[in-house]
Structure 1
Amino acid sequence: MASFAETGSPCNKVAGLGFGGVPTESELGEIEQAFAAFDAPTQIELAHVADPAIGTLLTGRGYRLESFENVLGLALDDRHQRVAPPGIEIRPSGDDEFETWLEIMADAVARPDTQGVPWHEEFPREVYLNAERDFATAGVTRYAALRNGVLAGGAGLRVADGIAQFAGAATTPAHRRQGIQSALLSARLADAAATGCDVAVITTQPGSKSQQNAQRRGFDLLYARAILVKQP
């Protein structure tokens, strides 16, 4: 699947390449031309389980490796319960606080946690806000994390076909290392299990705090993917 939202958007990418066989040169060319029409690079997420011939094909067309991501999964059952440290509250975030939630999330993302491999992308604040507004119309449930009554971060959850997709979680710098990320994971796992989901998936940077938190909750690596980019 190839998508383009706006210049610099995190939604500008080709996802799932390799799960349906090796693409042809003409198919890749058509995709590259579509991105080039917007003067945008073609960014491909290539899973390590894909046919190695795809990697050869892409490097031959001028793609360069920019980063790696890990996709982790966890089989869900009724044992998942909400757990949060004292002073931490995780609750749904309604439309009445959407703009406040957005600003907190944007502040947190603008100053990322530096543990592990850093994200290979940085987005202008307005582009990030636009992407989050788009996600809000795509069935993503928002969560607010409060520490001692103060909004300190948040996360998202999208459920489809028995799969719970954990969307970007973030905590503002002043409230990090207080158990908020683990509490957000716990709440979403419990809610996903309660809705009847079979599996939860989350994407992290290799060796990041997010990956460590997920693995402590029982997530295992499903596959790694390379981020390959070709400039227009």
Structure 2
Amino acid sequence: MAGQTHAVDIGDDDLLPPWTTVFEVARAIDISDWVLVGGLMVQLHARRASIPPPRATKDLDLIADVQTNSSSFGSIGTALTSIGFEVAVPDAHTSPIYRFTRGEEQVDVMVADHLPSGMKPRLRARPAFAVDGGAQALNRRDTFVITSTSGTITIGAPDVLGALIGKGAAYIVDQRDRGRHVEDAALLLASIESVGDLNLTLNASDRKRLRALAFELDANLSPAWLSLAQRDSLRGQRNLALLTEAAKLTTRQR
């Protein structure tokens, strides 16, 4: 359920990107201004559940919480440039601006979908990129206290249900690498401690996104389960069945 606090120990992985970047960003930007999403969010939930993440990620994806702090998108950009990142400014003024790079490091800063009509965050005269599923990710925010050999940081990230819905949104809109989102969803399902503890207050978009993943992961039909250890795979399949029933999702007919 959203609002919980989790303690996660990453050992000395803070010496490796993108965790080095996470620690820098967390120390430069107020925790209330952003949440972690994307591949590193999935890794964070894997570590919370003591599941070895099967896929590495090099990038850091953030959602700026502009509804809580209307200046957060701009202030995050300022903070990133202060620690050596450069913003990639698109040529067209109508194209969204979201990417910051520092050598091989990459940070994508986005905003939530469904912002109020009068709220149009911009940077360098370009609009922010609104990510599908972003609003629910912010609403389902948990707190993660991450400990490493070099210290401790506190960040926000969607709870496991918010992470799953976000992955469902990415699966629907991203035609390039759908398999990656399905594998991430399998891992997230395996990381659920108790489906009964999830707050299954869902709107139509949430159900659509979860249903898309359920179709792909139905029982043991998806090769995504093979990316996990057998015990984790079986736990994920059981949680999928429980979630499908509890959330009244429909899957393929056999």
TM-score (norm: length of structure 1): 0.27
Greater relative contact order structure (CA < 8 Å, 6+ sep): 1
TM-score (norm: length of structure 2): 0.25
Q: Would you tell me which structure has more strand in proportion to its own residues?
A: 1
